[in-house]
Amino acid sequence: MQSSYATKLIDLIESKAENIAKQWAADVMKHNRTPSYHSLRKDLVIEQGVNFYRLFRQMSLAEIPYNEAKNFSWKYAEEFYQQKIPLHEALYALILMRRHLWLYAEFQGTFVTALEKQQAVESLNRTILMFDYVSYQVTEKYQELAIDNVNKKLGGVKSFLMGKLIGGTKNIYKILVMAILLIAACVITYYNHTTGTAVVFTHLFYIPIILAAIWWGKKGVLVSVFLAALILLSHAFYLKDVPFTDDAVRSAMFIIIGGVVGWLMDSVKKLKELYESLA
């Protein structure tokens, strides 16, 4: 059963919801910790405050306030996520919402006597608990929306890059495949340079270069360096009378492409780790 002072506070909040919401909106739309709210339409911000303050009685009287709080929390999170309001600002706006609730009650002299002020601690604790529920649910919903957004934007790329290529094959098999490709590269280089075949076989080298970058990130550039050194040394031994220019350019491109793709894949791996931490 609710005490008279708790009922008095609930009645005040419900009857003066718009007044309290206007004071909150004026504060949150100019506060230095909530800059994203500054450009929003004032009527929308006020409406958000009114919706919460009018829901206050339902949350207070509900047998399970946590479930009742979801009516507000999820809608609040969805609306301001779409407005690209950062989570920390949305939570601080809730802090301001609670602060203005009590400032208004105190200003109106809701708790006049010392006894009422002492007893009002119970209402304060219940108010804090309900705001804690809302803050938790808003954070939970923001995280859910962020994960859904990542899934939509990555689409098939997520499952392909993050799953099959980055983590889908055991490292021992990757090393075995790479060893076979590098041995094949050595054989092809030796054959072409000793026979003088005029085939640009080095295009095939981009296969191990790209795979190494995908599997090992920037560390995969070692494969590029190996193949670049292979081309130059083979040229020095077997093509002494042919200018180094073409093979030197090819070697440089091996290292550049391997390094760039490796850097990109390291970025994708960091995104994968971030995604897993959110999930």
pLDDT, tens only, 191-218: 887 876 656 788 889 999 999 998 898 9
The reply to whether 116 and 176 lie within a common domain is no
8 Å CB contact between 272 and 162: yes
Residue in the structure block whose two tokens are 């608990």: 129
Expressed in angstroms, the distance from the first to the final Cα of the chain is 41
Task: Give the model's pLDDT for residue 116.
Answer: 54
CA-to-CA distance for 139 and 130, rounded, in angstroms?
14
Give residue 224's domain range.
Answer: 159-278
Enter the tokens of residue 172.
Answer: 């021992």
Total domains present in the chain: 2
Same domain, 120 and 192: no
Report how far apart, in Å, the C-alpha atoms of 80 and of each of 73, 85, 89, 90 are: 11, 5, 10, 7
pLDDT at 104: 76
Q: Is 129 found in the same domain as 21?
A: yes
Identify the segments of the chain with pLDDT beneath 50. 1-2, 112, 114-115
pLDDT value, residue 115: 46
Structure-token pair, residue 111? 């708790």
CA distance 178 to 193: 22
Judgement on whether residues 23 and 41 belong to the same structural domain of the protein: yes
CB 193 within 8 Å of CB 234: yes
pTM here is 0.56
Amino acid identity of 81? Y
Tens digit of each residue's pLDDT (9 = 90 or more) over 40-91: 999 989 998 888 888 777 777 777 878 878 877 888 888 888 888 899 999 9
- Give the pLDDT confidence score for residue 92 in this predicted structure: 92
